[in-house]
Amino acid sequence: MASIDVEDVLSKLTEREKISLLAGTDFWHTQAIPKHGVPALRLSDGPNGVRGTRFFNGAPAACFPCGTALGATFDTELLEEAGRLMGKEAIAKGAHVILGPTINMQRSPLGGRGFESIGEDPFLAGLGSAALVKGMQENGVVATIKHFVGNDQEHERNRVDSIVTERALREIYLMPFQLAVRDAYPKSFMTAYNKINGTHVSENTRILKDILRGEWGWKGLVMSDWFGVYSTSKSVIAGLDLEMPGPTRFRGEALVHASTANKIPAGVIDERARQVLELVNECAASGVKENAEETTNDTPETSKLLRRLAAESIVLMKNEGDILPLKKDKKILVIGPNAKAATYCGGGSASLRPYYAVTPFDGIVDKVDEGNVDFSIGAYSHKEMPSLGAEWRTTPGDDGEHGALFKAFNEPPSDKDRKCVDVLGPFTNTSMMFMDYKNPKLKSGLWYADIEAYYTADRDGDYELGVCVYGSAKVFVNDKLVLDITENQRQGSAFFGLGTDEDICSVPMKKGETYFVRLEFASAPTSKLTGGSVDFGGGAVRIGGAWKIDADEEVRRAAELAKSADQVLICAGLNMDWESEGFDRPDMKLPGHLDRLIAAVAEANPRTAVVLQSGTPVEMPWLSKVPAVLQAWYGGNETGNGIADVVFGDVNPSGKTSLSFPIKNEDNPAFLNYRSEAGRVLYGEDVYVGYRYYDTLGRPVAFPFGHGLSYSTFSFSDLKIQTPTDTEGDLLARVTVKNTGKVAGAQVAQLYISPLSPSLRRPTKELKAFKKVLLQPGEEKTVELKVALKYATSFWDESRNAWRSEKGEYKVIISDSSAVGESAVEDTFEVQKTKWWNGL
């Protein structure tokens, strides 16, 4: 793909051609104008991997650990390396633009997309995202930083008005974007769905024009989130260059009419078209051809980095009595629903089809003799029935391939002479969205499909099948109708809010017998529902199943097995049923009977370790009874191997919590101000987000921000501070970090600034810099942390509409978490003169 002479091309385009550039043509591509040498660009999700152009039956991809996991590494060098791999993945998928990273702030643990973002602190998110962007853009791929700004909840996200003070907007919510622009210059921004103080961001002149392009001096393309445009003239004037996806709703003929009616100031259409053409030139450096074939980058080097990322993101939260690491030569009892499920990512636009996905159980068995590993599920954690998965086959016998087949038709099942026009599969994930499914043999938007699989029962009992659908569906077992979701449909949260609530039926099965399951699907036009935050054609369906269990009996059985076990590891947590785009979590609790299971097993065996997988915090009412806890997030393709590496000590854990873990949901600062009410949400906690709130008020937490233990121990000493002569220079802090333990490991030096005599209320301390250092036993190194003095000392002065670096004394704290302990070291410095500033 060759670069173009932007001004020459722009001078030759008609008004209609210019306007055609300002909206996508389909879900993932921009408009091409071949006669002027303008190619179509391909955009692709996302935040934790590059999916390509297809939700359904897409080319497999590398799934990275989720955003909060990447944040937990506290390692910008590692994140830059991750960004480089994301860039290579984009090139393999023929994508010019990556829709990520996500850097919204987690006001509350309940955010449905909280797992996508890097953390609750703007400097952790800003510096971490800058590293990712640098890596992504190294080979000419463009990063799209999102969601700008205030998309911090899913509830009514398209209509909610985020009411936030200017100070909180600047210090918390805009700051990560500001740092990313300063340090890495992402070449594209994506607007948030919501309003900010009364105006949707996609038509918010103050946010897009005055701050982003004015104060920060940023030049690049601004695109909408998908279906996040709500006007024609306003969005164009405000600075929204590209409406996505296509075909357009608000541009095209509507914008032509607005332009001819002089609703658009002179030159504005040229400005917007120029940015699209400039993006073409930015993308030319990637070498990705127009409409390139989607391929894979599944190499040993890819797997190696993904495994390292998974392991280095894991946080050792608690380890009393050195329960961890486990011994490889002793028998281990593994319990829990996350053990044999690869919980590798959250749901929504962050989800993708991985090259492979390693379960924790597989990771453990790979390190020890399988005969030394026992398993009990103990309890379920699913909200909707698990995907039919690899236990199902395409033919009745054991020789069939694992998974289900998909067969498409133009005619309904009632037409006995209908012909199959497409066969795909097998699919081990039977959650399917057809927004990007195309087949030239399908004659219209109304089409049909059969999803078929065989299952041989491994026990006697009742097997439950569950279905969510956008469209309509019937389910048959051995040709007997067991579920009908054609007329009576209940609104659910699946498929971005377009799908039905799950319908469940129970099927008696006998051990050794084989059952043929067929789901008859009809596409989106047959849906009886309305609503949803996005609107896509094709339809969607999810079929899953699981044995019906007696919860009390399963918990009792797991506890009984634990009594005689040498080592017990519980694998529990959430999954994409609970954390996904489109809805927020109702509470912080673990699902189902998991809390009861963990408490019962810990009581039966006091040497129980728990591995939790979630993208955001969960309540732990059993915490005092469990000696060891690992937070393993959603770890991508290498989830299971990363967990096993840490559990057995092949990797010494070095992750730090990227969010505070409150004891209960009611403790979090946004508790009374989270969700849309009367179309608005009040950011009542102001600048006191996360640890800023808990520290300033002295509130206890389960685990503080920045917390993470090791199989070794470390000390800080010899803090020395160097201050510049004016606020334009850098504050330098040098500190000696020593490994005082017997195992090689990494420690993170976290630099917090505390104003000692502020003129207005400020958080007790705030993170401004961090650095991870790897040390051998007994080794010590001097670590240098650097932060611009004006960023270290300033708050937003609403009376001056500027940053204020205030005269006075400040404390520098180097600590291993926001909860300053005995190992922390401190010193002070002084700012001699108050100074106001704007921009970067």
Contact predicate 28/58, CB 8 Å: no
Q: Is 280 helix (H, G, I), strand (E, B) or coil?
A: helix
Q: CATH classification of 714-837, choosing from 2.40.37.10, 2.60.40.10, 1.10.10.10, 3.30.70.20? A: 2.60.40.10
| Pair 685, 751: CB distance under 8 Å | no
pLDDT of residue 398: 77
Give me the amino acid identity at 532: G
- The predicted pLDDT at position 391 comes to 82
Specify the pLDDT at position 727: 79
Task: Give the whole-angstrom CA distance, residue 416 versus residue 836.
Answer: 77
How many other CB atoms are there within 10 angstroms of residue 534's CB atom?
Answer: 20
**Which letter does DSSP use for residue 677 in this model?**
B
Answer for the pair 607, 647: CB distance below 8 angstroms, yes or no: no
Q: Mind listing the pLDDT tens digit for each residue in 535-581?
A: 678 999 999 999 999 999 999 999 999 999 999 999 999 999 999 99
List pLDDT tens digits, range 123-133: 999 999 999 99
Name, in order, each residue with C-beta under 8 angstroms of 472's C-beta and a sequence gap of 6 or more.
Answer: 485, 486, 489, 521, 522, 526, 527, 528
Task: Please state the three-class secondary structure of 373-435 as a single string.
Answer: EEEECCCCCCCCCCECHHHCECCCCCCCCECEEEEEECCCCCCCCCCEEEEEEEECCCEEECC
What strands lie across the sheet with 373-376, from one edge to the other?
315-319, 628-631, 608-613, 567-573, 332-335, 373-376
Instruction: Please check whether residue 715 is in contact with residue 740, taking contact to mean a CB–CB distance below 8 angstroms.
Output: yes
pTM of the entire predicted model: 0.96
Separation between Cα atoms, residue 421 and residue 442, nearest integer Å: 7
Residue type (1 letter), 604: A
Radius of gyration of the chain (CA): 27
Proportion of the chain above pLDDT 90, given as a percent: 94
Query: CA-CA distances (angstroms) from residue 268 to 112, 114, 188, 273?
Result: 36, 36, 19, 9
Is residue 598 classed as helix, strand or coil in its secondary structure? helix
Contact 472, 579 (CB under 8 A): no
- Residue 573 belongs to what H/E stretch? strand 567-573
Classified by CATH at the fold level, domain 385-548 comes out as Jelly Rolls (2.60.120)
In CATH, what number does 6-284 get?
Answer: 3.20.20.300
Angle between helices 122-137 and 76-92 (to 10 degrees): 40
Strands 431-433 and 540-547: antiparallel
Domain parsing of the chain, residue ranges: 6-284, 385-548, 714-837
Catalytic residue among 225, 595, 645, 816: 225
Residue 718 designated active-site: no
Assigned token pair, 84: 């480089």
Instruction: For the chain of 840 residues, list the mean pLDDT of each consecutive stretch of 10.
Output: 93 97 97 97 94 92 98 98 98 98 97 97 98 97 98 96 98 98 98 98 98 98 97 98 96 96 96 98 95 96 98 98 96 97 93 94 93 95 87 86 95 96 93 92 96 95 96 97 96 90 97 96 94 77 95 97 97 96 95 98 98 98 98 98 98 98 98 96 98 97 98 98 91 98 98 97 98 98 98 98 97 97 95 96
State the Cα–Cα distance between residues 462 and 515, nearest whole angstrom.
13
- The whole-number pLDDT of residue 496 equals 85
CA torsion, points 482, 486, 492, 493, in degrees to nearest 10?
Answer: 100
C-alpha to C-alpha distance for 683 and 151, rounded to whole angstroms: 12
